């Protein structure tokens, strides 16, 4: 394996930026904002260079960099990417500068600390996606709770404290059980190999040899931690609170990237480390995913608060991703990865757009709005695109992901029943119902509220700049998804290969 | 086993500290400026002995016919005690003026207590353990009540003294039974013939009584009743010292007594004993701490929970868990003394402003203290990449190696509970607006102590290997 430091630079840039920002004076608001934006743009550029160097026809982890960190426990700083992690890293570095831009006006209080938190958070998220050592992964996974906790707690809405603490404790609960499982794996590998290891590539060999009974427990511990993060029904209750109370920037990051850490964990750890258990429990988990799809959609339908509606729609959309992962076919898993990106883009855009009107009117109730098409035509168009992408209109990105997941799950040998697909497909219809209905109530008709005429102004240039890149990708994935599917195809196949090696008769 | 030798220079830390105590008494009596000299004098002594011990970590000898063992593990503990005392001295320079305990004895007693701890850590004979323990404990009883006119101090001191003597009674009774059944107080001899003694029920009871007495000293449930009142009632700087170095000293003795693998191999009773107190301490400590609004009391319950996590390591009893306990203790010194120092700065005269409410909006009043307090809280909660996380990690690692996975699961679950009350402090500091306005005491010494603690908490979190390698190298 060739050593390549580029991922380390990618990780260090936001960390360095977050430390440097502390040396600014709190009054230099403008400078701090520009600084945060520039640092995150540099990170984006570096991730593009990493993309250039990445060879998508190679299934091994690439751009790896390994340094021994804790010798006594044989833990090393070991990073590297395959197609799946790289695409998520790109999503992270792409979303973060946009978040900075979107908060140009919205965050007035303690900008320095906000910039610090957001850059620190970016480093944590990148770290989660590139870690190839389970222990290192855990460190990033936990460390990134702290900045998110501050983002919700300091700049959030009225019930921000409740939401922040709930978010923290829910995640901590799952991840600490995962910690026990990680230690158990390290100790188990020392019984087999004669040395402790938390190196993921080594553990891939060890994991499938764990006796079924214990493997189920290990799988459960990892799964619980990721399921809380995704969130899978019935562990989703922290999500609406966190989303609604977080500032727009927090919601965008939360929906755009943080939730993907859960699904990424399922793909990277749960399936290849514990393949037998994953196959064994796949039907049950898929049922939960489908309950999530339908439940999330039904609850979205009755929301009166736009932000809450979008938040619950996340539960529904991520149900698709989980279904795609546990159907364990190439199509469904490809679809799941694309759907992770899609959800990041379209839900991120929806949160941004809700934030735009909230900034102007400080109201999020659907009933407050009505007939704004006449007042803010540009805004209405943007909302239309974001909404249709979330609904899954063919030609836009959402369709590709959902379609692949539905095809994949239909012919999945693991699930082995078309009912999964049938029920999941209703989620697409429901999505159309709640989003279109919201759109109709907010945008069409007569202007119901005279207050709107004074307060509501159309998108300004900055907001436009934030939304345009997202829309470019929404259309790009919708029309020519091969760019992205090619990137992940080999990696997805290699993960499925790893699973099928251990259980030949189930997967073909 | 280390050989008998005549390397008396390794006793230099103890000798210097002993001489320092006498000199301090002389300074206190003779000069009027003792109040300015003594803090720096004792801080220098602690710094020197701490670093000197650390430099002699690779040596390991038995002295005085096997009565004491110097170097090695004892050196690590000496370092922990001295650096803890050093930070406490830095933190108390201005605090004791505010608290009205501007006495020379304050420093002399701290020095004596640290000498007691160092004697405990190097003991290789049960009688030496007892001498060290009494020296430390009596100094602590006095320090807890050093402000004679305060009701809370008197209460803390008396409670500590009465219950502490009770625990000492257990220890003495245990020693008597051990001596009666083995005919020796030498730990070396006890370990050599352990398999033979263990069939004697009196010996087992003696060991158990000894452990019970020390469970009191480490503040483990069900022997924890004194902890909240004493930590709350004592001067804040002293609470910091007692909860960290005092706990470390008691653990050093437990590690000596559990230093032979035979203790774990023959009867299951000792392992079960520690498993049970670990289970009770982690759960009771974490749950009861939720109900506290007084920060000192909350940290007292958190200290009980931390004793529980460390006791998980005692129950596991392998190389990793022992190394983990020592690492944990070192990390705990910095986290907890740091936190208590912040409390001592916020604290007003007459023990006001100890409640959470006083911390509301701290970040707008003093960003440095706010950031540091949050750092200590996250570290105590065991969130990476802070030092506290690695302490827990190593202890759980040892437990899982010994098939005590259930105990590790209990440990992490109570960690989740404890996150709630640690986070609550951060909630008050950052998410709430100030409820009362007051001047925060300015103190160079305290801020220095806080900064040092904070830096080390972060450093040990990013590079845990620096300390851990040292610890592993001295554990046999």
Q: What is the pLDDT along chain B (476 residues), one digit of tens a residue?
A: 455 556 778 888 899 999 999 999 999 889 888 888 899 999 999 999 999 988 888 888 888 888 888 888 899 999 999 999 999 999 998 888 888 888 888 999 999 999 999 999 999 999 999 999 999 999 999 999 898 888 888 999 999 999 999 999 999 999 999 999 998 888 888 888 888 888 888 988 999 999 999 999 999 988 999 999 999 999 999 999 999 999 999 999 999 988 877 777 766 788 889 999 999 999 999 999 999 989 999 999 999 999 999 999 999 888 888 999 999 999 999 999 999 999 999 988 888 888 888 888 888 888 899 999 999 999 999 888 888 899 899 899 989 988 888 999 999 999 989 988 998 898 899 888 888 888 888 889 999 999 999 999 999 998 888 888 889 888 86
Residue A33 placed within a domain: no
Shortest distance, CA A70 to any CA of chain B (angstroms): 5
Number of CB pairs < 8 Å for A and B?
80
Q: So what's the pLDDT on residue B432?
A: 85
Residue A154 placed within a domain: no
Shortest distance, CA B363 to any CA of chain A (angstroms): 10
Chain A residue numbers with beta carbons less than 8 Å from the beta carbon of B465 are: 69-72
| Among A residues 178-237, those touching chain B with beta carbons less than 8 Å apart | 179-180, 183-184, 186-187
Residue A285 placed within a domain: yes
**Which chain A residue is nearest to residue B414, measuring alpha carbons?**
A173
Chain B residue numbers with beta carbons less than 8 Å from the beta carbon of A73 are: 397
Shortest distance, CA B227 to any CA of chain A (angstroms): 27
Give residue B86's Cα distance to chain centre.
14
Among candidate residues A270, A223, A227, A230, the one with its CA nearest the CA of residue A254: A230
Q: So what's the pLDDT on residue B175?
A: 94
Is residue B30 within 8 A of residue B37, CB to CB? The reply is: no
Q: So what's the pLDDT on residue A503?
A: 64
Residue A247 placed within a domain: no
Shortest distance, CA B411 to any CA of chain A (angstroms): 9
Instruction: Give the SS3 label for residue A298.
Output: helix
Residue A423 placed within a domain: yes
Shortest distance, CA A176 to any CA of chain B (angstroms): 6
d(CA A227, CA A472): 31
**Other CB atoms within 10 Å distance of the CB of residue B166:** 13
Q: Tell me the two tokens of residue A74.
A: 């044989």
Task: Output the CA–CA distances (angstroms, integers) from residue B162 to A148, B140, B165, in the order listed.
Answer: 48, 13, 5
Chain B residue numbers with beta carbons less than 8 Å from the beta carbon of A72 are: 323, 465, 468-469, 472
Residue A115 placed within a domain: no
Chain B residue numbers with beta carbons less than 8 Å from the beta carbon of A177 are: 409, 412
d(CA A299, CA A291): 12
Looking up tokens 């049922």 gives A287
Is residue B136 within 8 A of residue B120, CB to CB? The reply is: yes
Between chains, do B465 and A139 touch, taking CB under 8 Å as contact?
Answer: no
DSSP codes joined into one string, B268-293: SHHHHHHHHHHHHHHHHHHHHHHT--
Q: Which residues of B touch A (CB under 8 A)?
A: 323, 378, 383-385, 389, 393, 396-397, 400-401, 405, 408-409, 412-413, 415-416, 419-420, 423-424, 426-427, 430-432, 464-465, 468-469, 472
Q: So what's the pLDDT on residue B140?
A: 94
Q: So what's the pLDDT on residue A507?
A: 47
**Which chain B residue is nearest to residue A152, measuring alpha carbons?**
B431
B411-415: long-range pairs with CB below 8 Å, 24+:
B411/B278, B411/B282, B411/B308, B411/B309, B411/B312, B412/A176, B412/A177, B412/A179, B412/A180, B413/A173, B413/A176, B414/B282, B414/B283, B414/B285, B414/B286, B414/B287, B414/B305, B414/B308, B415/A172, B415/A176, B415/B286, B415/B309, B415/B381, B415/B382
Shortest distance, CA A143 to any CA of chain B (angstroms): 6
**Which chain B residue is nearest to residue A151, measuring alpha carbons?**
B431
Nearest to B431 among A71, A154, A168 (CB): A154
| Among A residues 483-502, those touching chain B with beta carbons less than 8 Å apart | none
Q: So what's the pLDDT on residue A482?
A: 87
Residue A39 placed within a domain: no
d(CA A353, CA A374): 17
Nearest to B420 among A71, A142, A169 (CB): A169
Residue A350 placed within a domain: yes
A154 at B interface, C-beta within 8 A:
yes
Strand partners, B70: B61
Nearest to B416 among A73, A139, A173 (CB): A173
Nearest to B430 among A150, A183, A186 (CB): A150
Is residue B228 within 8 A of residue B243, CB to CB? The reply is: no
Chain A residue numbers with beta carbons less than 8 Å from the beta carbon of B393 are: 179, 183
Is residue B468 within 8 A of residue B323, CB to CB? The reply is: yes
Is residue B460 within 8 A of residue B408, CB to CB? The reply is: no
User: Testing the interface with B: which of A72, A75, A128, A174 to mutate, by most B Cβ within 10 A?
Assistant: A72
Instruction: Give the SS3 label for residue A395.
Output: coil
Query: Does ipTM come in above 0.90?
Result: no
Nearest to A142 among B383, B408, B409 (CB): B383
Chain A residue numbers with beta carbons less than 8 Å from the beta carbon of B424 are: 165
Between chains, do A164 and B427 touch, taking CB under 8 Å as contact?
Answer: yes
Residue B183 gets the label, from left (phi > 0), alpha (psi -120 to 50) or beta, of left
Between chains, do B400 and A173 touch, taking CB under 8 Å as contact?
Answer: no
User: Does an H or E element contain A69, and which?
Assistant: strand A62-70
d(CA B371, CA B429): 9
Give residue B117's Cα distance to chain centre.
10
Strand partners, A305: A365
d(CA B413, CA A325): 29
Beta carbons within 8 Å of A115's beta carbon, 6+ residues apart: A18, A21, A32, A33, A35, A36, A100
Beta carbons within 8 Å of A369's beta carbon, 6+ residues apart: A357, A363, A441, A442, A443, A448, A449, A452
**Other CB atoms within 10 Å distance of the CB of residue B475:** 18
**Other CB atoms within 10 Å distance of the CB of residue A49:** 12
d(CA B465, CA A70): 5
**Which chain B residue is nearest to residue A190, measuring alpha carbons?**
B401
Shortest distance, CA A63 to any CA of chain B (angstroms): 23
Shortest distance, CA A354 to any CA of chain B (angstroms): 24
A2-6: long-range pairs with CB below 8 Å, 24+:
A2/A64, A3/A64, A3/A65, A3/A66, A4/A53, A4/A62, A4/A63, A4/A64, A4/A65, A5/A65, A6/A46, A6/A49, A6/A50, A6/A53, A6/A63
- The DSSP call for residue B361 is T
**Which chain A residue is nearest to residue B473, measuring alpha carbons?**
A72
**Other CB atoms within 10 Å distance of the CB of residue B260:** 17
Beta carbons within 8 Å of B291's beta carbon, 6+ residues apart: none
Instruction: Give the SS3 label for residue A397.
Output: helix
Which structural domain range is residue A490 located in? 275-508
Number of structural domains (chain A) is: 1
Looking up tokens 């002594």 gives B45
Torsion of CA A140, A144, A146, A149, to 10 degrees: -150
A161 at B interface, C-beta within 8 A:
yes
Q: So what's the pLDDT on residue B3?
A: 53
Q: Which pLDDT tens digit goes with each residue over B269-280?
A: 888 899 999 999
DSSP codes joined into one string, A309-365: HHHHHHHHHHHHHHHHHHH-SHHHHHHHHHHHHHHHHHHHHHHHHHHHHHHHHS--B
Burial B20-36 (b: 16+ CB within 10 A, else e): bbebbeebbeeeeebbe
Between chains, do A146 and B405 touch, taking CB under 8 Å as contact?
Answer: no
Model confidence, pTM: 0.91
Low-confidence ranges of chain A (pLDDT < 50): 1, 506-508
A143 at B interface, C-beta within 8 A:
yes
């Amino acid at each position: 394996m060739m050593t390549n430091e580029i991922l380390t630079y990618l990780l260090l840039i936001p960390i360095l930026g977050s430390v440097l920002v502390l040396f600014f004076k709190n009054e230099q608001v403008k400078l701090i904002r520009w600084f945060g934006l520039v640092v995150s743009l540099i990170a984006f550029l570096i991730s593009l260079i990493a993309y250039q160097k990445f060879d998508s026809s190679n299934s091994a982890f690439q751009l790896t960099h390994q340094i021994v960190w804790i010798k006594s426990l044989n833990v090393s700083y070991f990073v590297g990417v395959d197609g799946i992690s790289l695409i998520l890293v790109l999503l992270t570095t792409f979303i973060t500068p946009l978040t900075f831009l979107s908060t140009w006006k919205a965050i007035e209080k303690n900008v320095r600390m906000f910039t610090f938190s957001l850059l620190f958070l970016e480093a944590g998220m990148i770290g989660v996606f590139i870690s190839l050592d389970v222990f290192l992964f855990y460190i990033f996974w936990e460390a990134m709770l702290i900045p998110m906790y501050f983002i919700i707690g300091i700049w959030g809405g009225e019930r921000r404290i409740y939401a922040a603490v709930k978010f923290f404790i829910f995640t901590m609960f799952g991840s600490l059980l995962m910690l026990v499982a990680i230690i158990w794996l390290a100790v188990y590998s020392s019984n087999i190999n004669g040395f402790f290891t938390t190196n993921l590539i080594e553990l891939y060999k060890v994991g499938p040899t764990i006796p079924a009974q214990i493997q189920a427990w290990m799988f459960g511990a990892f799964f619980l931690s990721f399921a809380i993060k995704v969130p899978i029904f019935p562990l989703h209750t922290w999500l609406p609170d966190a989303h609604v109370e977080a500032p727009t920037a927090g919601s965008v990051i939360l929906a755009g990237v943080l939730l993907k850490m859960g699904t990424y964990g399922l793909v990277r750890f749960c399936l290849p480390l514990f393949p037998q258990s994953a196959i064994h429990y796949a039907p049950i988990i898929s049922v939960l995913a489908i309950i999530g799809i339908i439940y999330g959609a039904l609850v979205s339908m009755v929301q009166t608060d736009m932000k809450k509606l979008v938040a619950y729609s996340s539960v529904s959309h991520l149900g698709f991703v989980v279904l795609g992962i546990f159907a364990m076919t190439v199509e469904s898993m490809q679809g799941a990865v694309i759907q992770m990106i899609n959800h990041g883009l379209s839900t991120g855009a929806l949160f941004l757009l809700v934030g735009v009107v909230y900034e102007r009117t400080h109201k999020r109730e659907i009933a407050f709005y009505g007939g704004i098409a006449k007042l803010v035509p540009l805004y209405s168009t943007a909302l239309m695109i974001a909404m249709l992408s979330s609904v899954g209109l063919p030609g836009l990105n959402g369709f590709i992901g959902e379609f692949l997941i539905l095809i994949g799950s239909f012919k999945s040998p693991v699930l082995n029943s078309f009912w999964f697909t049938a029920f999941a497909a209703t989620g697409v219809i429901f999505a159309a119902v709640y989003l279109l209905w919201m759109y109709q109530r907010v945008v069409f008709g007569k202007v119901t509220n005279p207050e709107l005429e004074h307060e509501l102004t159309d998108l300004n240039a900055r907001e436009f700049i934030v939304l345009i890149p997202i829309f470019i990708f929404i259309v790009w994935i919708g029309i020519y998804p091969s760019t992205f599917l090619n990137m992940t195809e080999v990696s997805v196949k290699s993960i499925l290969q790893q699973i099928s090696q251990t259980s030949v008769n189930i997967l073909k | 086993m280390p050989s008998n030798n005549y390397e008396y220079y390794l006793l230099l830390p103890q000798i210097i500290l002993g001489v320092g105590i006498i000199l301090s008494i002389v300074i206190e009596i003779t000069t009027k400026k003792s109040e300015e000299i003594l803090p720096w004098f004792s801080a220098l002594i602690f710094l020197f002995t701490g670093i000197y011990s650390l430099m002699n970590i690779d040596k390991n000898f038995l002295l005085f016919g096997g009565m004491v063992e110097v170097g090695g593990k004892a050196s690590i503990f000496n370092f922990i005690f001295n650096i803890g005392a050093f930070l406490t001295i830095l933190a108390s320079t201005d605090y004791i003026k505010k608290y009205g305990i501007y006495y020379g004895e304050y420093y002399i007693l701290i020095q004596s207590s640290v000498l007691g701890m160092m004697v405990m850590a190097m003991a290789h004979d049960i009688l030496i353990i007892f001498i060290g323990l009494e020296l430390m404990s009596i100094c602590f009883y006095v320090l807890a009540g050093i402000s004679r006119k305060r009701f809370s101090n008197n209460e803390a001191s008396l409670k500590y003294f009465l219950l502490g003597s009770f625990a000492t009674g257990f220890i003495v009774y245990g020693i008597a039974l051990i001596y009666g059944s083995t005919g020796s107080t030498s730990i070396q001899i006890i370990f050599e013939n352990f398999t033979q003694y263990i069939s004697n029920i009196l010996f087992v009871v003696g060991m158990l009584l000894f452990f019970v007495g020390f469970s009191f000293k480490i503040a483990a449930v069900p022997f924890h009743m004194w902890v909240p009142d004493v930590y709350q009632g004592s001067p804040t700087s002293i609470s910091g010292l007692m909860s960290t170095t005092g706990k470390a000293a008691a653990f050093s003795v437990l590690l000596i007594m559990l230093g032979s693998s035979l203790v774990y191999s023959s009867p299951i009773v000792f392992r079960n004993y520690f498993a049970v107190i670990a289970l009770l301490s982690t759960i009771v400590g974490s749950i009861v701490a939720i109900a506290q609004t007084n920060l000192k009391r909350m940290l007292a319950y958190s200290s009980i929970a931390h004793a529980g996590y460390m006791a998980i390591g005692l129950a596991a009893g392998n190389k990793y868990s022992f190394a983990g306990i020592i690492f944990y203790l070192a990390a705990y010194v910095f986290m907890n003394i740091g936190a208590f120092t912040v409390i001592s700065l916020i604290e007003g005269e007459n023990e006001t402003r100890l409640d959470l409410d006083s911390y509301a909006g701290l970040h707008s009043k003093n960003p440095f203290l706010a950031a540091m307090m949050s750092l200590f809280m996250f570290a105590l909660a065991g969130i990476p990449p802070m030092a506290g996380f690695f302490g827990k990690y190593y202890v759980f690692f040892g437990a899982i190696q010994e098939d005590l996975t259930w105990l590790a699961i209990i440990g992490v679950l109570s960690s989740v509970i404890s996150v709630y009350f640690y986070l609550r402090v951060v909630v008050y500091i950052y998410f709430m607006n100030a409820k009362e306005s007051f001047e925060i005491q300015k103190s160079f010494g305290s801020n220095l102590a806080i900064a040092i603690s904070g830096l080390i908490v972060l450093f040990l979190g990013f590079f845990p290997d620096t300390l851990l390698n040292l610890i592993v190298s001295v554990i046999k």
